[in-house]
Chain A
């Protein structure tokens, strides 16, 4: 089911991206974006190399507990409200090997592109349908 859905989404995206009316410039831009997607692991490793931590104000509750000595009550209630399917662009969680993390990070970039492209096309299609 999930596999079928992902194949369908990938096919839709490819159809969108290989439209015959795509200009040379647009093709170039897409190649650039795919190149960017392949480079995204830099965004995973540069912070590790530099010894940098989580972004300011985006601490996990465990980090908050260390910083404050407690987790604020309201925060405790809603912090883990949502279980994202690919948390932190890394399906395997914290403990996975760096190879797996790299693969997931890159794959997340591709999943992200497919998802946002489909949503944008869906929205613009709805808008032009209403016109008729």
Chain B
């Protein structure tokens, strides 16, 4: 899902840099205000985790490869804004040091995997778990959070690829950047992520949440948020 240089036109990657920059600025503000000092090591670990899990390429036999991102579990454990920061740092390092994802497409890749994904995951989790703090509904919510987050990121990436022929073609109609239309790019990205990679993301999300609930439930941001909300209501 790391869009390389050359696939997006400037009309796409420049605005997406702008959108991601807004989210980075808000994330820094939120983290400064809300992230407790003792949680900083977890933020660093979250970034390390996301970096590592993206190195585990999962093959579709005879086809393409993909990987989990980890943004969903980070959003559940540390909050969506912490996930914006952690995963953005990862994507920027991947682009600069390892050439995984382009330099021009850093804004787009951060938007897809470090903005869309953590927020979709977080909202999915909060919506489905309701007031549960454990049990099957709670962990199904976590699975679906990871699944929906990665799928949403993949579909957005597909849209970004697919609009290129529409907005950036030579006068004779040959595409200048990513060459395939929406009718190919969106299904291609959606199907592989919704059938395989998203399922793995979901399982990773649920398992890690289980591990944290067992060892350090106080840490879990989304549970604290639920408690705060019910306090407000009461």
> Are A and B physically bound partners?
yes
Please, what's the 1-or-0 string for A99-120, where 1 marks a CB less than 8 Å from any CB in chain B? Answer: 0000001001101110111011
Please, what's the 1-or-0 string for A26-42, where 1 marks a CB less than 8 Å from any CB in chain B? Answer: 10111001001101101
Interface size classification for chain A: 35 or more
* A130, chain B: closest CB distance, angstroms: 7
Residues of A within 8 A of B51 (CB): 109, 112-113, 116
Whether the pair A81, B40 counts as a contact (CB closer than 8 A) is no
Whether the pair A81, B44 counts as a contact (CB closer than 8 A) is no
Whether the pair B176, A74 counts as a contact (CB closer than 8 A) is yes
B195 within 8 A of A: no
Residues of A within 8 A of B104 (CB): 78, 81
Residues of B within 8 A of A88 (CB): 98-100
Whether the pair B66, A55 counts as a contact (CB closer than 8 A) is yes
* B112, chain A: closest CB distance, angstroms: 11
Residues of B within 8 A of A42 (CB): 56
Query: What is the size, in residues, of chain B's interface with A at 8 Å between Cβ atoms?
Result: 72
Given that A50-B59, A57-B161, A117-B44 are known contacts, is A112 also in contact with B98, CB under 8 Å in the complex? yes
The total of Cβ contacts below 8 Å across the A-B interface reads 205
Whether the pair A52, B99 counts as a contact (CB closer than 8 A) is no
Residues of A within 8 A of B20 (CB): none
Tell me which of B86-94, B133-141, B142-150 binds A: B86-94
Q: How many angstroms between the C-alpha atoms of A85 and B64 in the bound complex?
A: 25
Residues of B within 8 A of A76 (CB): 6
Whether the pair B52, A112 counts as a contact (CB closer than 8 A) is yes
Chain A interfacial positions (CB closer than 8 Å to B): 16, 19, 22, 25-26, 28-30, 33, 36-37, 39-40, 42-44, 46-47, 49-58, 61, 64, 68, 70, 72-89, 105, 108-109, 111-113, 115-117, 119-121, 123-124, 127-128, 130-131
